[in-house]
């Protein structure tokens, strides 16, 4: 019988060393909770600041006006020749807006002392809106029509709390009298602040009219690029990972390729932009600012990020499946495509979607291929549209933050919200697919 | 599935090689100071003409001119915006790549202003000497050049507030920095007598003296801002005693947050800059590749539209945004009409 040398204390009472080990565990749990707390706090601060700044971008102030279209101004010869009518530029339409707002002020019986230039209430976009309307509906000349036009960025800012009577005094673009007029028009029902889909659908606008700027071109550009990435990166990435995982012999050469793929995933994305500029634009002669080039660059960037999880997914399929398939006489290719690939598909899809999400949020490589630009024309439908200039969502955010007019601050945050929603959707799809189809052995 | 995907891959590759790449919109790149003006004009151009809206990129004057000079052809840009005149070296680089006929268009003038937080100390009037004394690496005290000892504005000029010196100046990649150095720091250097002192100390080497003059202190009181004016504004917002350097247009759009100081007793405004009284201003340019006129649809029309009286004149949208109209706009219009390249004796 061995001698009992341990303490004679009861086993139910913890001794000093047990207590210290238990305390260490408790401390570690507290550290963990602090870390999670900090991360959640940072996320909350970020989300709250973005949403509180950006929610305003989805609201816009509109003013309803009765605009008269006098024939002597818009079609002097009276023959409704489209070419002749097109000669009247947007500058020719500005006076119509001026008289329309003056008429409205009179009709409502609003009198404000010291009010000058009430047309400053209206966005400069209105002239273009009227011109396009008249050119496509020449029959309205000589008539008066009711129009809803955008209010200027300053008036809009007043209803969002960005502009006050105090700040208007110091601002050359608006006066406190304009704000009084804005309130009067609102009471008369001629002015309304409401949800604005145009922020999502309209193209970018210049600094003179922040109220008319939107994300339409950027969203289309991002979508086209994702299309290119999907069409190229999925087959290439999956083919590469299947070959490497299932068919390639294990030798130094394939080892080298494996190491390189892992390294490529860690290369800073701007490097791919430089590569894209050199290969696709300077050498291949593809156009600048085009989604096809952006898509190709992002494909290069995303490929290793798709290959690595795809290989992991293939490797996770148990060898017994392969052996069973081979055992009943399937060829290796049949084994892979009939049995291994379908079982690995959820993992491959997750990797693909996360890779696409990363590509969607990427700005740096696009800087060098001319996509950080002011683009107002929507690209055509693919495939031709892939070669038209466009921007991308993260680029549009970058552009908005650089502008002088304070109204662009909320639009930048609004664009971030849109981008976050897209990312949230892609990630949710990835999680759903994983949950739905994942098999465990 | 696999075969189908491969087919679509091939289809895309085939497309990249077969779709004709003719470009139908004007491509512009260059100065971020000119960018807002160019985008205002591009927007109006797209609205009023059947040509597509030009694509405008920024990235800085030097970067724009570098791309401009890369050669002639559809995958090079048509117009370079610049907040300074093109340099001899750049003209040479252009010529080496076959870009020979360059049309220089001056669109107007831009003022550079000193502004501070609206609720901050009273920075109401600066002289170039003040800026030099506050920000230069070495200043003249009792006839000798010494390491800048000043920590507050009132230390060298009792009219200025007793506030710690902190100034946000544009980084060296900006065209604005060059104007700031030439027209303010150097002028202050000469006015305080520091220039002569350096000159007599180094044996009359003017170039070296100028270089020594514009060297800013590096003890953290002169902060280089490499981003845009929005970054300077954010820094001023956070720092009530800071003084920032902005373009006139940027200041005019943010008057609710900023107050401006006079320079040499003159308040910056489009009028005082147009008359030349306000000392810190510079011309803005764009450069057209003459070889692209007639190849890229709408290029000449866009350039002509840019300098119309309705656009770049005194009452146009550009002046409203903060551009100081060029009194010689009519000559510029003629220049584009005749497609007169630079250096052809005009």
Would you list the domain boundaries of chain B? 23-109+283-337, 111-281
Please state, in angstroms and rounded to a whole number, the distance separating the CA atoms of residues A61 and A150.
Answer: 6
In angstroms, what is the C-alpha Rg of chain B?
23
- Mean pLDDT on B267-294: 88
Query: Is residue A386 a contact partner of residue A299, using CB atoms and an 8 Å limit?
Result: no
Asked if the Cβ–Cβ distance from A370 to B253 is below 8 Å, we say no
Whether B74 contacts chain A with CB within 8 A: yes
In tens, the pLDDT along B37-73 reads 999 999 999 988 889 999 998 878 888 898 899 888 8
**Taking CA atoms, what residue in A is nearest to B257?**
A167
Please state, in angstroms and rounded to a whole number, the distance separating the CA atoms of residues A363 and A349.
Answer: 24
In tens, the pLDDT along B76-125 reads 889 999 988 888 899 999 999 989 889 999 999 988 899 999 888 888 88
Provide the pLDDT for residue B17. 45
Nearest CA to A147 among A172, A128, A130, A124?
A: A130
Asked if the Cβ–Cβ distance from B310 to A89 is below 8 Å, we say yes
Q: What are phi and psi of B141, to 5 degrees?
A: -130, 125
Tell me whether the CATH fold assigned to B23-109+283-337 matches the one assigned to B111-281.
yes
Full 3-state SS string of chain A:
CCCCCCCCCCCCCCCHHHHHHHHHHHHHHHHHHHHHHHHHHHHHHHHHHHHHHHHHHHEEEEEEEEEECCHHHHCCCCCCCHHHHCCCCHHHHHHHHHHHHHHHHHHCCCCCCCCCCHHHHECCHHHHHHHHHHHHCHHHCCCEEEEEEEECHHHHHHHCCCCCHHHHHCCCCCCHHHHHHHHHHHHCCCEEEEECCHHHHCCCCCCCCHHHCCCHHHHHHHHHHHHHHHHHHHHHHHHHHHHHHHHCCCCHHHHHHHHHHHHHHCCCHHHHHHHHHHHHHHHCCCCCCCHHHHHHHHHHHHHHHHHHHHHHHHHCCCHHHHHHHHHCCCCHHHHHHHHHHHHHHHHHHHHHHHHHHHHHCCCHHHHCCCCCEECCCCCCCCCHHHHCCCCCHHHHHHHHHCCCCCHHHHHHHHHHHHHHHHHHHHHHHHHHHHHHHCCCC
Residues within 8 A of A (CB atoms), B 32-61 only: 32, 35-36, 38-40, 42-44, 46-48, 50, 52-53, 55-59
**Taking CA atoms, what residue in A is nearest to B75?**
A287
In tens, the pLDDT along B297-313 reads 999 999 999 999 888 88
Q: Where are the domains of chain A?
A: 60-196, 216-437
* Residue A377 neighbours by CB distance under 10 Å: 18
Q: Choose among A86, A171, A373: nearest Cβ to B55.
A: A373
Provide the pLDDT for residue B19. 44
Q: Choose among B56, B257, B317: nearest Cβ to A208.
A: B317
Residues of B in contact with A406 (CB under 8 A): 253-254, 256-257
Asked if the Cβ–Cβ distance from B256 to A232 is below 8 Å, we say no
**A44-58, B10-24, B320-334 — most confident range:** A44-58
- Mean pLDDT on B15-39: 76
Please state, in angstroms and rounded to a whole number, the distance separating the CA atoms of residues B137 and B41.
Answer: 41
CA B96 from chain centre, in angstroms, equals 26
* Residue A294 neighbours by CB distance under 10 Å: 32
Residues of A in contact with B257 (CB under 8 A): 406
**Taking CA atoms, what residue in B is nearest to A277?**
B75
Fold of the CATH domain B23-109+283-337: D-Maltodextrin-Binding Protein; domain 2 (3.40.190)
Please state, in angstroms and rounded to a whole number, the distance separating the CA atoms of residues A86 and A136.
Answer: 10
Instruction: Give residue B344's pLDDT band: very low, low, confident or very high (50, 70, 90).
Output: low
Whether A211 contacts chain B with CB within 8 A: no
**Residues paired with B325 in a beta bridge:** B108
- Mean pLDDT on B116-142: 87
- Mean pLDDT on B188-216: 86
pTM of the model: 0.84
Please state, in angstroms and rounded to a whole number, the distance separating the CA atoms of residues A348 and A245.
Answer: 13
Asked if the Cβ–Cβ distance from A286 to B75 is below 8 Å, we say yes
The Cα of A15 is separated from the nearest Cα of chain B by a number of Å equal to 56
**Which of A374, A382, A391, A406 is best to mutate for the B interface (most B CBs within 10 A)?**
A374
Please state, in angstroms and rounded to a whole number, the distance separating the CA atoms of residues B51 and B57.
Answer: 18
Half-sphere CA count of B108, side-chain side, radius 13 A: 31
Chains A and B: how many Cβ contacts under 8 Å?
135
Which residues does chain A have with pLDDT short of 70? 1-8, 441
CATH for A216-437 is: 1.10.3720.10
Provide the pLDDT for residue B346. 43
Question: Average per-residue pLDDT in chain B?
Answer: 85
Asked if the Cβ–Cβ distance from B42 to A208 is below 8 Å, we say no
Fold of the CATH domain B111-281: D-Maltodextrin-Binding Protein; domain 2 (3.40.190)
Provide the pLDDT for residue A244. 92
Give the CA distances from residue A417 to residues A157, A226, A400, A427, B126, in Å, rounded to whole numbers and listed in that order. Answer: 19, 19, 14, 15, 43
Query: Is residue A228 a contact partner of residue A292, using CB atoms and an 8 Å limit?
Result: yes
In angstroms, what is the C-alpha Rg of chain A?
31
Residues of A in contact with B59 (CB under 8 A): 372
Nearest CA to A363 among A292, A272, A435, A264?
A: A272
Greatest pairwise CA separation for chain A in angstroms = 123
Full 3-state SS string of chain B:
CHHHHHHHHHHHHHHHHHCCCCCCCCEEEECCCCHHHHHHHHHHHHHHCCCCCCEEECCCHHHHHHHHCCCCCCCCCCEEEECCCCCHHHHHHHHHCCCCCEEEEEEEEEEEEEEEECCCCCCCEECHHHHHHHHECEEEECCEEEECCCCEHHHCCCCCCCCECCEEEECCCCHHHHHHHHHHHHHHHHHCCHHHHHHHHHCCCHHHHHHHHCCECCCCCEEEECCCHHHHHHHHHHCCCCEEEEEHHHHHHCCCCEEEEEECCECCCHHHHHCCCCCCEEEEEEEEEHHHECCECCHHHHHHHHCCHHHHCCCCHHHHHCCEECCCHHHHHHHHHCCCCCCCCC
**Which of B47, B56, B226 is best to mutate for the A interface (most A CBs within 10 A)?**
B47
pLDDT of B247 > 90? The answer is: no
Q: What are phi and psi of A74, to 5 degrees?
A: -100, -25
């Amino acid at each position: 019988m061995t001698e009992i040398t341990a303490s004679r204390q009861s086993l139910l009472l913890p001794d000093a060393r047990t207590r210290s080990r238990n305390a260490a565990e408790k401390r570690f749990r507290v550290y963990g909770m602090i870390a999670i707390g900090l991360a959640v706090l940072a996320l909350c601060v970020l989300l709250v600041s973005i949403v509180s700044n950006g929610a305003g971008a989805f609201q816009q102030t509109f003013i309803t006006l009765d605009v008269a279209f006098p024939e002597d101004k818009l079609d002097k010869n009276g023959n409704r020749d489209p070419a002749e009518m097109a000669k009247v530029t947007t500058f020719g339409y500005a006076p119509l807006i001026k008289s329309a707002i003056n008429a409205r002020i009179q009709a409502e019986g609003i009198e404000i002392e010291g009010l000058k230039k009430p047309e400053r209430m209206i966005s400069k976009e209105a002239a273009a809106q009227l011109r396009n309307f008249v050119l496509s509906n020449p029959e309205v000349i000589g008539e008066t029509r009711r129009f809803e036009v955008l209010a200027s960025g300053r008036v809009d800012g007043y209803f969002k709390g960005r502009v006050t009577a105090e700040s208007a005094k110091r601002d050359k673009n608006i006066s406190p009298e304009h704000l009084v007029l804005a309130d009067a028009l609102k009471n008369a029902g001629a002015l309304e602040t409401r949800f604005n889909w145009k922020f999502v659908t309209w193209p970018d606008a210049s600094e003179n009219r922040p109220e008319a700027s939107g994300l339409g071109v950027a969203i289309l550009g991002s979508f086209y690029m994702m299309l290119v990435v999907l069409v190229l990166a999925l087959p290439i990435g999956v083919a590469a990972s299947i070959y490497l995982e299932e068919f390639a012999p294990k030798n130094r050469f394939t080892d080298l390729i494996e190491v390189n793929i892992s390294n490529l995933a860690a290369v800073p994305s701007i490097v791919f932009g430089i590569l894209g500029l050199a290969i696709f634009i300077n050498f291949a002669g593809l156009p600048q600012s085009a989604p096809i080039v952006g898509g190709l660059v992002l494909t290069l960037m995303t490929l290793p990020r798709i290959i690595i999880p795809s290989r992991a997914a293939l490797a996770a399929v148990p060898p017994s499946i392969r052996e069973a398939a081979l055992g009943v006489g399937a060829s290796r290719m049949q084994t892979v495509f009939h049995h291994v690939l379908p079982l690995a598909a959820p993992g491959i899809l997750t990797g693909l979607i996360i890779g696409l999400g990363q590509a969607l949020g990427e700005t740096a490589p696009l800087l060098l291929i001319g996509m950080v630009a002011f683009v107002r024309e929507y690209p055509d439908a693919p495939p031709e549209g892939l070669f038209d200039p466009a921007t991308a969502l993260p680029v549009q955010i970058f552009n908005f933050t650089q502008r002088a007019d304070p109204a662009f601050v909320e639009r930048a945050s609004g664009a971030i919200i849109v981008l976050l929603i897209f990312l949230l959707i892609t990630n949710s799809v990835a999680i759903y697919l994983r949950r739905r189809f994942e098999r465990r052995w | 599935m696999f075969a189908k995907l491969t087919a679509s891959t091939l289809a895309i590759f085939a497309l990249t090689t077969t779709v004709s790449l003719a470009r139908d919109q004007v491509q512009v790149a260059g100065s971020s100071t000119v960018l807002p003006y160019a985008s205002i004009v591009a927007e109006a151009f797209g609205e009023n003409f059947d040509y597509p809206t030009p694509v405008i990129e920024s990235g800085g004057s030097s970067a724009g001119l570098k791309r401009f000079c890369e050669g002639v052809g559809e995958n090079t840009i048509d117009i370079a915006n610049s907040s300074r005149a093109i340099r001899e070296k750049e003209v040479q680089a252009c010529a080496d790549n076959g870009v020979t006929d360059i049309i220089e268009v001056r669109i107007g003038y831009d003022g550079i202003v000193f502004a501070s937080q609206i609720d901050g100390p009273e920075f109401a009037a600066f002289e170039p000497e003040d800026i030099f004394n506050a920000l230069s690496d070495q200043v003249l005290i009792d006839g000798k050049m010494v390491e800048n000892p000043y920590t507050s504005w009132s230390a060298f000029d009792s009219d200025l507030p007793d506030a710690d010196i902190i100034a946000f100046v544009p980084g060296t990649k900006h065209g604005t920095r060059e104007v700031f150095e030439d027209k303010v720091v150097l002028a202050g250097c000469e006015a305080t007598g520091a220039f002569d002192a350096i000159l007599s100390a180094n044996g009359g080497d003017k170039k070296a003296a100028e270089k020594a003059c514009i060297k800013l202190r590096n003890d953290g009181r002169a902060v280089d801002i490499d981003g845009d004016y929005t970054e300077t504004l954010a820094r001023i917002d956070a720092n009530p005693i800071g003084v920032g350097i902005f373009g006139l247009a940027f200041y005019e759009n943010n008057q609710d947050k900023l107050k401006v100081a006079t320079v040499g007793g003159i308040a910056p405004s489009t009028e005082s800059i147009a008359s030349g009284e306000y000392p810190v201003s510079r011309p803005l340019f764009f450069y057209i590749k003459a070889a692209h006129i007639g190849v890229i649809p709408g290029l000449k029309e866009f350039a002509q539209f840019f300098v119309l009286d309705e656009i770049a004149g005194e009452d146009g949208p550009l002046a409203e945004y903060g551009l100081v109209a060029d009194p010689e706009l009519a000559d510029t219009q003629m220049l584009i009409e005749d497609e007169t390249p630079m250096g052809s004796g005009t």
